[in-house]
Structure 1
């Protein structure tokens, strides 16, 4: 009951999520795929219970011309009794299912609690296909434009420029220090604040927060960002890094 979504493997099987049954159904394909499995085409081979109320389902590279055929993940909406209860709000449950063998040999390998809203679709690819940067290619990188930002700050070029009520700040960020580390504004100023992380160390992420103005940025190694606001309050407002480092 309640078939929702279907994904595929490399052995001529399809896998359908069964919401009301809380199960993953494995069934055979026909046509050019019939020779890949030992069963009759268009036959239900196994219905594996999952915990609980599966919605979406993801197969490793299951949306490609050459599916991996080793695993599917059941994106279950309920977990109920699978984890220690810490209150009324329970996690969603992602279950790793081994589909490497033919026939009725599917089995659940692992439960993973997910602390977010109802799980929807996911993609799974082989890790060796990922070629991520550890740090951005150049200091001052803008992830949106995939290029060096025109307002990127280099070490030694930090500055504050006032033009009437408009104040523009070019600040560098590196472990334990902002440059400049003191900014004086007048009430009513319009502020454009450019920040560039000078870090080249992988995972050395820095934050920049001005709680009084609800500003909270995260700067990855080499990243440049700009924030803009009106200084419409009197007082002294600290800015600080929200990521602990250099301790």
Structure 2
């Protein structure tokens, strides 16, 4: 699983969109705002793996996210069966519906609508994404007692609550719901693009058929793909973190 790598690319994506969002809605762009968007991007970039029973997001909230995972897998299989063509033969489970840009946009739109209608939905969404971000990043970036504390459920929950409070307080009022929804959609798309760098690929074009297959597994050119756990993944991960620092410095300076 590429949990840490997905979170790292999500951090970069989250920070990269702060400048245009600041121009569009006047949102926070200082250090606190940058950190908030980085956290939201990292958390959202882990969401698509809810279709895998042992992923970071599935294990994050015990029974609750375990139940959501089973529901996500059932939905993915049902949509696959309903929309497949005779040429499709990939099964419909992991790396299917939840790994499509179309589904990411739909989830982002629904999240944005919920957050627009309810302050509580905004708070819950930001807290959950912050919790996921800590789960995805802390075990690689933090050492010693701090890692043991943050890796625990209680430690992650408290840290996520603090991150949520900082995010909400950095806005003059409640952030526009579509902004939170956009962060969710962006992180999910970044996840799928990351998986498109692996040999298996993902159904990026769904529901548009490609050579007769609606669930065609697409990705980067073959020479650019790599297996998880090999040195190219490390390069992507390190490059994302270095890029985050560079973009963040450019925006703050």
Under a length normalisation based on structure 1, what TM-score does the superposition of the two structures give? Answer: 0.19
Kindly indicate which of the two structures has a greater share of residues assigned to strand.
1
Kindly indicate which of the two structures has a greater share of residues assigned to helix.
2
Work out which structure has the larger RCO, using CA pairs closer than 8 Å and 6 or more positions apart in sequence.
Answer: 2
